[in-house]
Structure 1
Amino acid sequence: MSSFPTNPSQPTANNAHVPHRVRVPALVRACGQRLARWLPRTLLWQTFLLIALLLGFSLAIWSQIFRYFEEPTRARDLAQMVASVVNLTRTALLNAEPRLRTELLIDLAALEGIRIYPAEATDVLQPLPNTRPMRLLTREIRRQLGDHTRFAMRWKALDGFWVSFRLHPEDPDEYWVMLPRERLQRHYALEWLVWGSAALVAALLGAFLIVSRISAPLRSLARAARMVGSGQSPPRQEENGPAELAVVSHAFNQMAGDLARADTDRALILAGVSHDLRTPLARLRLGVEMSGAPEDEVAAMVADIEEMDRIIGQFLDFGRGDPQEPLQPVELVELVVGLLEPYRLRGIPLELDLPESLSVPARALPLRRAVANLIDNAIRYAGNEKPITVGVHQSHGEVAIEVADRGPGIPPLEVERLRRPFTRLEDARSNTKGAGLGLAIVERVMRAHSGQLDLLPREGGGLRAVLRLPVGRTR
C-alpha cells in the first residue's frame, strides 16, 4: 500500500511546481500592464490602431491566399521553361557534330548562362530547400522529363538550379544542366510590395477619416462636460452627423439647459431666502442687546446671531455663482493689509510676510472674499492663542497668497472631499460651526481666476492654505 504525506504543507510530486504556476499569472499581468502603458489612450488612436491591425492582418491573409493559389500555376510555367531548356539542350547536343559540341557548350554558358557537366558518382550535391513552391516545381518537372530526374541547388562549388537529364531514356549516363537562379525568382515582388503598401496606406487614411468623424464630436462633448463640471455654461453642441452622436449631443444640450435653469433657480432661492432671513436676525440682535439679560448671556446670543449671519452670507456668496466681471490689475499687498485691519482691531494675532508692492490681474471683491474665508477658517479652527501667518510672494510665473495656522490640519486623503460644498471634517475639527461652504467658495473663486487652491500640511503642525494666481492672464 502506498503512503501519502499527512502534512499538507509538505511538497509532493503533484504540487512541487505550484509556486511556479502561481508566478505565471503575475508575470502575465505585469507584462500586460507594461504593454498598456505603450498603447494609445484616446478613442481616436485606439480605434485607428485596431483598424490598422485588422487591415494589416487582412492584407497578410489575402497575400497568403493569393500565393497559395498562384504557386501551382507559377510552378507549371517554370517547369515548362526548365523542360524546354533541357529538351533543347539535349536536342542540340544530339544533333551537333562532335567537334562542335564544345563550342556549343561555351555559347550556351556565355549567352544563356546555361552550363552542362557530366554527372559522376562522386558529385557533391546540396539538395533544394523543402518548400511548397519547390515541391510543386520538382514534381511538375519530373512529370515532363521522367522520374529519374534529380535536382540540386549546388553542384560541387557552383550555386544554381541544377537538373539532371539523359540523352536517351535508356542511356545510363547523366548530365547536369544549370540554370541561373534569377530565372526562377519573381521579378515583380517589389511591385507587389509597392502596390500593397499603397493600398494599405489608402485604407488607413480612410480609416483615420472615419474615426476622426466619430472622435471630433466626442472631444467636443468632453470639453463641454468639463465646462459643466467647472460650473461654466458650455456652448451648444451640434446635433448633426451620425444618428447615435446626434442623440447624445441632443441629450447633452438638454441636460446642460436643465442644469443652467436649475442653477439660476437655486441662486434666486438662496438670494431670496438669505435676504429675508437677515432682516429678522438684525431685529433679533437688537432685541437681545436691549433685553437687559446678563452680559455673558447677551454676548453668547450675539455670537450665535453673528454666526448665523455669516452662514447666510456664505449662502449668498455661493448662490451668486462664478464672478462675471473682467479681470483688472489689483494691488495685492494693499488688498491684504486692508482686509487684515479689522482682524487686528479684534485682537487676532497675525504675522505678515508681504512685499512692498505686488500687482496681479484679478477680480478684487471675489478675491477679497476668498482670502477672508481662509482667515476665518484659520481663526475658527486654530483659535486665538497662536498667530496666523499671512504671506504674499511671486515665483515661477504665479502669485501665491498663503494663510497658515497651527490648527489640527487636514489629512491628505480628505483634501479633495473638503473642496466640495456642504462638507466638513468633523473628526479633526470638532466643536465648530458653519455650513461647509467656505472652501467651496474659495475653490470657485480660484477656478474663475484660472488659479488653484492648495491645502498643504504645515511643518510643525497646522495647515497652509495657498491661493495661486497666474500672472499675465487677462480673461
Structure 2
Amino acid sequence: MLSKLFGSLFFRLALLVVTVVVATQLFTTWMAEHERFKLLERQLYIQVLDTLSFLEDSMNGMNPQERQEYLDNYNRPGLPNLLPYNADKSQKFEPELPKIGRMLAERLSHDLNEPIQAHFGRRADHRELWVHVHVLDQAYWLVIPFGRYRDKMIGSLLQSSLIAALFATLLASLFAWRITRPISRVVQASRELAGGTMPKPVPETGPREVRLLAHNFNRMALELDNAARERRLMLAGLSHDLRTPLTRLKLTLEMQADTPDQHDMLSDIDELSRIVRQFIDFARAEESNRLEPLALADLAASVVSRFRREGMDVRLEQRSEPELLADALALERLLSNLLENARRYGQPPVIVRIEQQPGEVELSVIDHGKGIPAEFRESALAPFERLAEHRGTDGGSGLGLAIVSRVVKQHNGKLTLTDENDAFKVSIRFPTA
C-alpha cells in the first residue's frame, strides 16, 4: 500500500510542491533572521557610540576623583554602565560570544582600527555584554544590558513560517489531487477495459494535456468496443449461417443408403458443427451478462451427467456446496469446454473437483494425459492457438481454452494449468464475494 502511494504521481507532485515551499520558507526565515541581526547590531553599535560620546563630553575636564564620582552617580541597574578596567576580575564570562556580540566587536575593531575585546556574562539575573573601550585615553569596560537583544529566532516569525508551510502543504495536496484525479480515472477505466468491461466515458476535465488524454482514451475505448461488437456479430452470424447447411448435409447423409464412407462423413460433419458451436461460444464469451447467485455443485453435476451419458469416463468430487455470483450459461460453457478438451486430448479417468477455500471457490478438471508442456501453457490460452503436436490429435478450432480464459476473466477468477501426481490439472479459483 505504501509503495503504491509513494510511487504515485499524486505523491510526487505533492512532495515536489511541499519541498519547494519548505525550502522557500527556510530561505525566507534565514534572510529575515540575518536582516534582524544586522538591524540589532546596528542599533547596538549606535548605542555604544552615543554612550561613549556622551560620557566623553560629560567627563571632559574632570580629574580622576570627579570622574569616579560622576560614574558612581551615572551607573544604574538596567542601563549602560562604564566600569573601571579592573572590574572584570570578579566576573565570570561565557566561553563564547553571542552572534550580535561578535558582529559588534568586529565592527568596532574595523571602525576604530584596533582590536576590541568583548565578553558575555551574567550579573545577578541580567545578561550583559562587556566591551573594552577607551574614554579620554583611559581604559574602561562598557557594560551593556543584553535583555532586549535576543540571539534566538523570533517566535512569531517561526510560527508564521510553520503556518504558511502547513497551508502551502494542504494547498499543494489539493492541487496535486486535482491534477492527478483525471489521470487516476483513466487508469481505472483502462483496468476495466483490460478486464473485458466497457468503462464509462472518462470526464474530460483538468489541464489541456489531461483533457486530451481522456478524450483519446474515450475515443480508443469506443473504437475497441465497436470493433469487438462487429467481430461478435460477424462470428455469430457466420456460425449461424453455417449450422443450417451442415444440418441439411447430416440429414441427407443419414437418409441415404449405408456406404463405407458414410460414418466418416458424419463424423466430419459433427466435428464441423462442434467447431461452429465453439465460434458461437467464443463470440458470446465477450458479452458481460448479469451475475446471479449460483450453486456451482448443481451446475457441475448437470454437465458431468451429460458427458457421462455420452460415454465419457468422468466423475464429480464434490467436497463442498459453495454458492457464488456468476453467469450460469458462461460457467456451463467453461466446464463443457474443459471436459471436451479432456476427452479429446487427455486420458481417463477425468475428475471434476469442487472445494471451498477461504474467500474463494476452486473448480478443477483433472485428466491423466500428457497435458500441455509448461512453455506452451500461456500461448494455449490465446484464441485459435492449436497444440495438436503436443496433445496427440488434431488441433480443433483452438478456441476451447480461449473461451475458458475469457469467462474466468469476466468473473474476476484465476486460471492455472499445473501437473499433479502424473495428471494434468486445470484449476479455476472464483472469489466468493
TM range (shorter): 0.7 to 0.9
Question: What is residue 223 of structure 2 aligned with on the other side?
Answer: 258
Kindly indicate whether residue 129 of structure 2 is the aligned counterpart of residue 161 of structure 1: yes
Match of residue 189, structure 1, among 150, 154, 157: 154
Deviation at 1:98, TM superposition (A): 4.6
1:44 to 10, 20, 36: 10
- Measure the CA separation in 2 of the matches of 1:424 and 1:60: 67
2:189 and 2:200 in contact (8 A); partners too: yes
Separation of aligned partners in 2, 1:77 and 1:413: 84
Q: Name the amino acid aligned to 1:161.
A: L
- AA aligned opposite 2:414: L
Matching residue within 332, 337, 358 for 1:368: 332
Q: 117, 139, 150: which is aligned to 2:106?
A: 139
Q: Does 1:454 align with 2:422?
A: no
Q: How far apart, in 1, do the equivalents of 2:111 and 2:121 lie?
A: 22
Which letter does structure 2 place at the counterpart of 1:333?
Answer: A
- Report what 1:277 is aligned to: 242
Letter in 2 for 1:470: P
Q: Once the 2 structures are TM-superposed, how far is the Cα of residue 411 of structure 1 from its aligned partner? A: 5.5
Does the residue aligned with 2:290 lie in a helix, a strand or coil? Answer: coil
Q: Give 1:270 shift.
A: 0.6
Q: Which amino acid aligns with 1:421?
A: P
1:155–1:162: 8 Å Cα contact kept in structure 2? no
Measure, in 2, the Cα distance between the counterparts of 1:53 and 1:412.
50
Cα root mean square deviation, aligned:
3.9
Secondary structure at the aligned position of 1:57 is classed as: helix
Q: Does residue 439 in structure 1 map to residue 406 in structure 2?
A: no
Cα distance in 1, alignment partners of residues 5 and 408 from structure 2 = 35
| CA displacement 1:171-200 (0-9 Å, x = unmatched) | 2x44363644x4432566221111122222
Q: 1:431 to 1:81 in 2, by over 3 A?
A: farther
Task: Tell me how far apart the structure 2 counterparts of residues 356 and 211 of structure 1 sit (CA, whole Å).
Answer: 49
CA contact (8 A) 1:281 1:305 kept: yes
Distance 1:425 1:82 in 2: 100
CA distance in 2, matches of 1:376, 1:141: 102
Q: Do 1:374 and 1:438's aligned partners in 2 also have CA atoms closer than 8 Å?
A: yes
Secondary structure at the aligned position of 2:24 is classed as helix
Paired residues of 1:405 and 1:462 also in contact (CA < 8 A): yes
Aligned ranges 1:282-293 → 2 under 5 Å? 282-286=247-251, 290=256, 292-293=258-259
Query: Which range is displaced more, 82-91 or 349-358?
Result: 82-91
Distance in 1 between residues matched to 2:83 and 2:391, nearest whole Å: 103
Corresponding residue number in structure 2 for 1:398: 360
2:112 is equivalent to residue 151 of structure 1: no
Distance in 2, Cα, partners of 1:454 & 1:96: 108
Measure the CA separation in 2 of the matches of 1:153 and 1:409: 90
1:341 matched residue in structure 2: 305
**1:26-77 deviation line (CA, Å, top 9, x unaligned):** xxxxxxxxxx969712111111111211222233334444455554334212
TM-score (norm 2): 0.81
**Quick one: which of 195, 219, 229 aligns to 2:194?**
229
Residues 153 and 160 of structure 1 are in contact (CA less than 8 Å); yes or no, is this contact kept in structure 2? yes
**For structure 2, which runs of at least 5 residues remain unmatched after alignment?**
none
Hey, what does 1:316 align to over in structure 2? 280
Identical counterparts, % of pairs: 28
Q: Is the 8 A contact 1:75 1:140 kept in 2?
A: no
The secondary structure found in structure 2 opposite 1:152 is strand
Number of aligned residues:
424
Q: CA deviation at 1:273?
A: 0.7
Q: Distance in 1 between matches of 2:320 and 2:113?
A: 107
Q: What SS is found at the alignment partner of 1:177?
A: strand
The CA deviation string for residues 239-288 of structure 1, in whole angstroms up to 9 with x for no partner, is 34433333222222222222222222111111111111122323344455
Q: 1:5-20, aligned counterparts within 5 Å?
A: none
Paired with 1:102 and 1:254, the residues of 2 have a C-alpha distance of 94
The answer to whether 1:422 aligns with 2:387 is: no
Change (3 A) 1:359 1:139: closer
The equivalent residue for 2:350 is 388
Please list the CA deviations of residues 121-144 of structure 1 after superposition, one character each: whole Å capped at 9, or x if unmatched.
Answer: 99997775697x665432333466
Structure 1, unaligned runs of 5 or more: 1-35
Higher mean Cα deviation, 361-370 or 42-51?
361-370
**AA paired with 1:152?**
H
Does the aligned pair in 1 maintain the 2:253–2:266 contact within 8 Å? yes
| Kept after mapping to 2: 8 A contact 1:118/1:176 | no
CA distance in 2, matches of 1:37, 1:239: 28
Indicate how the Cα distance of structure 1 residues 233 and 200 shifts in structure 2: closer, same or farther if over 3 A, else same.
same
SS in structure 2 at match of 1:330: strand
TM (norm. structure 1) is 0.75
CA positional deviation for 1:458: 3.3
CA distance in 2, matches of 1:136, 1:261: 79
Q: Contact 2:119 / 2:131 at 8 angstroms: preserved in 1? A: yes
- Quote the offset at 1:322 in angstroms: 4.2
Relative to 1, partners in 2 of residues 1:119 and 1:89: Cα closer, same or farther, differing over 3 Å?
A: farther
Paired letter, 2:276: I
Which aligned pairs between 1:78-97 and structure 2 lie closer than 5 A? Answer: 78-84=44-50
- Contact 1:399–1:468 under 8 Å retained in 2: yes
